[in-house]
Amino acid sequence: MVISIGIRGDKNMLEQGVIIQYRLLPAERPTNPNRIWKGKVIQTYLGMTYFLDCCRVVSLEPGYEELTELVLISQIIEVAKPQPEYH
């Protein structure tokens, strides 16, 4: 299930394990500013005094596996709940 949150969305959708799609900030000087990146949330930092709402993400992009970075809520385009694993 994919849920678009953007800037005004429900931040409660962000939790460990969800897959997000996001764009890099202009300050990161991306070569393709419209590229959409995909990552898995490993930690959220929401509602903390003196800090911007963000999450730590591990990249799911080929060639960038295991790279982690902080992603601001405003960068997020979509949030997808992980599919349950059946054994």
pLDDT per residue as tens, the chain (87 positions): 555 555 445 677 889 999 999 999 999 999 999 999 999 999 999 998 998 999 999 999 999 998 999 999 999 999 987 666 676
HSE-up (13 A, CA, CB side) for residue 51: 13
In a domain, 87, yes or no: no
In a domain, 24, yes or no: yes
For residue 71, give both structure tokens: 């992603």
Report yes or no on 36 lying in a domain. yes
- Classify residue 35: in a domain, yes or no: yes
The pLDDT, as a whole number, for residue 18 is 94
Q: Residue 68's pLDDT is what?
A: 97
Residue 58, class by beta-carbon neighbours within 10 Å (0-12 exposed, 13-18 middle, 19+ buried)? Answer: middle
Helix, strand, coil % over all residues of the chain, rounded to 5: 10, 35, 55
Q: What is the DSSP letter of 26?
A: G
54 within domain boundaries: yes
Q: Is residue 25 part of a domain?
A: yes
Edge to edge, what strands does the sheet with 37-45 contain? 2-3, 76-80, 19-22, 37-45, 54-59, 68-72
Answer whether residue 85 is part of any domain. Answer: no
pLDDT value of position 71 = 96
Q: Would you state the pLDDT for residue 7?
A: 41
Rounded Cα distance between 73 and 56, Å, is 11
The count of domains in the chain is: 1
Q: Which range of residues forms the domain containing residue 13?
A: 2-80
CATH number of domain containing 35: 2.30.30
Look at residue 86 and tell me if it is in a domain. no
Q: What is the pLDDT of residue 73?
A: 93
